[in-house]
Amino acid sequence: MKSVIQTHGDPKGAVVGVLKSLLNQGVVKAWLLPLSGSGITYALVRDEGLLEKASPFAPVMPINLARAVSVVAKKGGAGKIGVLLRPCEQRAFVELVKFHQIDRNSVLVVGMDCLGTYELKDYASSANAALEEAILRQFKAGEATPYQGLNFRKACEVCVHFTPTNDGGYAPELALGLLGMDPYEAIALEGEPDLLKGLGLEEASEPPSRLEVISALREKRTAKRKEAFAETLGKARGIEGLRSYLSTCIRCHNCMVNCPICYCPDCVFRTETFDRTTSQYLAWAERKGAVPMLPDLILFHLTRMNHMATSCVACGMCTSACPMGIDVGTLFSAVGEKVQALFNYVPGRSLEELPPVAEFKEEEFLDLG
């Protein structure tokens, strides 16, 4: 069911009203969302008063929040937790449900349109309210222009999945529609009829301009994405290209730690699998003349790609997490897109489609063997 909430000049207040109402009705036991205080803090909020500090529209993403969902709702069985997710977080959420890292029935998702987010350090050193208002004002026309002197995160600049609903696929319990709307007047709210009725909302249709704005933005972003991916794949091509692309990597593994898809607690790179004795290192150095230290730079990135590219949601948190500014995300999403195309798989699109690494067909890739 579709509905519209009137915001009377206060979009944040209107959304907080919805959150409070769902908490008071007992639909959710708590909300997992960003609070603003000194900067942005994600929190599991039980106290109604603290919801006043919720900051649903802050254009920043300290972590992919799906990771936090898998912390609080892995086992489930204790009631529903409401969570406010951007589209890339929502896609990661869907993947993590399919990888059994989140108990689907323990979570109520509120999705939202997203025009882009800033790097955390840029956000932290800027006037937060001004950034937020600037982006809210851009939803009507659907043209994302970064605040003066700043850039959106690279992944956001080429994001094509910026709405929470997709045809016939997974849709969150509630979806805040901002594109094509003036959030200072009204926000579209689509979702389960019971929830909307419980909120006292009537069926109402969104303005037709909303769909036009969405498709225009998608078209523009698709072109930009294609260009960025081709450029990156051109740069990282061949072993020399790849080495040069990753040449400033300091092996901190932050890209892996911040990747929502790299959830494995027993990741091979955290274990002793490839530890060697001194004599083995010496033999290795003798054979090759020299061994890079720390070892396994290319091995790490290529292996991680093999393990998670099929489910890469292109959230770009790896790029944001890289202290050396390597654009890991564009590389991984460019390759990921090609790998996903082999299986006609779009990460986060549906809860029913199994991740490519979790199934097989008897009649496929017949030319490989």
Partner 1 sequence: MEFEPRIVGFLCNWCAYSGADLAGTSRIQYPPNIRVIRLMCTGALDPIYVLRAFLEGADGILIAGCHPGDCHYLNGNYKARRRVAILKEILKELGLEEDRVWLRWISASEGQRFADTVKEMVEYLKAKGPSPMKNPIL
Footprint of partner 1 on this chain (CB under 8 A)? 233, 236-243, 268, 288-290, 292, 295-299, 302-303, 305-307, 309-310, 334-335, 338-339, 342, 356-357, 360-362, 364-365, 368-369
How far, in Å, CA of 322 to CA of 121, rounded? 13
How far, in Å, CA of 15 to CA of 100, rounded? 30
| Alpha carbon distance, N-terminus to C-terminus of the chain | 49
Torsion of CA 187, 188, 191, 192, to 10 degrees: 80
Instruction: Quote the least distance from Cβ 366 to partner 1, whole Å.
Output: 9
CB of 258 to partner 1, least distance (A): 21
Percentages of the chain per state (helix, strand, coil), in multiples of 5: 45, 10, 45
The single-letter code of the amino acid at 200 is G
CB 96 within 8 A of CB 76: no
Axis crossing angle, helix 209-235 with helix 238-245, rounded to the nearest 10: 110
CB of 99 to partner 1, least distance (A): 16
Cβ at position 223, least distance to partner 1 in Å: 20
Q: Identify which of residues 38 and 290 has a Cβ nearer to partner 1 in the complex.
A: 290
Least Å from the CB of residue 269 to partner 1: 9
Closer to partner 1 by Cβ: residue 38 or 344? 344
Nearer to partner 1 by Cβ, of 21 and 303: the residue is 303
Would you say 169 or 356 has its CB closer to partner 1?
Answer: 356
Record the tokens describing residue 312, joined without a space: 């890469």
Least distance CB 160 / partner 1 (angstroms): 19
Angle, alpha carbons 51-52-54 (nearest 5°): 60
Nearer to partner 1, 75 or 288 (CB): 288
Q: How many CB atoms lie within 10 A of CB 2?
A: 16
Task: Report the residue number, 325 or 365, with the smaller CB distance to partner 1.
Answer: 365
Contact indicator for 100, 129 with CB cutoff of 8 Å: no
